[in-house]
């Protein structure tokens, strides 16, 4: 039997309202629960809005990037990195689409704060289906043109994925930098050491890719790792979040929504780290994250440290 969590429900894009009115367009419904997604799609269909319904974050991201929708309805009840990546992708590729979100009573206000009020509407559980449909209808005028199937979509802009990652991580940066202050500032890394570290990281990356291709070992993180080459300040943290010792420079070799690979001259055990680096995609911005060391292994004469980001102050999200 196929897993229910991977099932998709499709309501034709030309669905009509009960009164025979013209179509209002097409929506993407992303909800981790099948029943809730079905309820939302029926509420939209009653207003003349067709729906594609998906239940996995990675599939929602794929649909947003590859399709054209008039409305994006996002399940953001779980404040984790993958759900926020769906939201970040929606805001970057919305192309005029309206964005609605379903929130939980516990985390709703925090989610709204992190999304900078870019939503066109938010609903907190329990959600009234009629109210949801009415809100969608108010956002989309009648006789809205339904996108042509297989319409060409512009390719992703270079650096877009990295910008999504940094934009998401930036949400908590101000709080972390305010709390740790000057403890996050380290000496610069000597150019000769930086060059040696960069070469070592690049060789390790190639060996890893070859090994994955030969033995089918996939990415252990939840989403794509992007190669970068940026120096960050790192400071060890005590369990209570207080800094432990002076900050030191590390090289960030790759970055994802949920973690990073660092390179350093010495081993770092299973401890917590705060990292800070100048954003590669956001002008005049500094990114600060708290993380947990997941592994530390030798690469040549240096060490590679895999860290998982603590997105919400209560544990890491990946590695």
Given this model, what pLDDT does residue 153 score?
42
Rounded CA gap, 124 and 120, in Å?
14
Given this model, what pLDDT does residue 10 score?
36
Contacts for 58 with CB less than 8 Å, ≥ 6 apart: 82, 223
Given this model, what pLDDT does residue 172 score?
78
Specify the 3-state DSSP secondary structure of 250: strand
- Give the distance from CA 54 to its chain's centroid: 17
Residue 302 backbone dihedrals phi, psi, to 5 degrees: -115, -175
**Smallest Cα–Cα separation from 49: which of 58, 60, 41, 57?**
41
Question: Do strands 121-124 and 98-103 pair parallel, antiparallel, or not at all (unpaired)?
Answer: parallel
C-alpha distance from residue 311 to each of 291, 295, 308 (Å): 8, 19, 9
Question: Do strands 25-30 and 226-237 pair parallel, antiparallel, or not at all (unpaired)?
Answer: unpaired
Looking at the chain, the whole-number percentage of residues with pLDDT higher than 70 is 80
**Smallest Cα–Cα separation from 71: which of 30, 27, 22?**
27
Pseudo-torsion of CA 36, 40, 43, 49, nearest 10°?
-160
Given this model, what pLDDT does residue 106 score?
84
What is the reported pTM? 0.57
Residues with pLDDT less than 50, the chain? 1-22, 145-158, 218-222, 313-319
Contact yes or no for 93/65 (Cβ under 8 A): yes
Given this model, what pLDDT does residue 311 score?
63
Condensed to tens digits (0 to 9), the pLDDT of residues 130-165 reads 999 999 999 987 655 444 343 444 444 446 778 878
With 0-12 / 13-18 / 19 or more C-beta atoms within 10 angstroms meaning exposed / middle / buried, residue 251 is buried
Condensed to tens digits (0 to 9), the pLDDT of residues 45-72 reads 999 999 999 999 999 999 998 878 999 9
Provide the 8-state DSSP code for 258. Answer: S
Contacts for 253 with CB less than 8 Å, ≥ 6 apart: 201, 204, 205, 227, 228, 229, 260, 261, 262, 263, 304
Contact yes or no for 170/51 (Cβ under 8 A): no
């Amino acid at each position: 039997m196929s897993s229910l969590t991977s099932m998709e429900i499709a309501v034709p894009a030309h669905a009509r309202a009960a009164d025979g009115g013209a179509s209002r367009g097409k929506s993407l419904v992303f909800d981790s629960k099948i029943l809730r997604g079905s309820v939302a799609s029926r509420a939209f269909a009653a207003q003349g809005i067709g729906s594609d319904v998906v239940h996995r974050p990675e599939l929602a991201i794929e649909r947003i990037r590859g399709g054209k929708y008039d409305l994006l309805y996002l399940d953001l009840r779980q404040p984790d990195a993958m759900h926020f990546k769906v939201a970040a992708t929606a805001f970057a590729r919305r192309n005029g689409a309206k964005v609605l979100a379903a929130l939980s009573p516990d985390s709703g206000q925090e989610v709204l704060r992190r999304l900078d009020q870019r939503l066109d509407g938010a609903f907190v559980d329990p959600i009234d289906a009629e109210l949801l449909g009415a809100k969608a209808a108010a956002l989309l005028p009648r006789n809205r043109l339904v996108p042509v199937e297989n319409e060409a979509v512009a390719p992703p802009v270079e650096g877009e994925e990295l910008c999504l990652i940094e934009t998401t991580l930036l949400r908590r940066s101000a709080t972390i930098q305010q709390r740790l202050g000057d403890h996050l500032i380290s000496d610069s890394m000597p150019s000769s050491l930086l060059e040696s570290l960069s070469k070592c990281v690049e060789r390790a990356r190639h060996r890893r890719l070859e090994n994955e291709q030969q033995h089918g070992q996939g990415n252990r993180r939840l989403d794509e790792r992007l190669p970068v080459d940026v120096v960050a300040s790192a400071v060890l943290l005590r369990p209570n979040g207080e800094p432990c010792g002076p900050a030191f420079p590390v090289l960030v070799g790759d970055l994802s929504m949920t973690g990073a690979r660092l390179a350093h001259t010495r081993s770092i055990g299973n401890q917590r780290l705060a990292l800070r680096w100048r954003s590669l995609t956001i002008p005049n911005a500094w990114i600060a994250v708290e993380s947990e060391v997941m592994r530390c292994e030798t690469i040549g004469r240096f060490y590679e440290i895999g860290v998982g980001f603590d997105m919400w102050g209560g544990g890491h999200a990946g590695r």
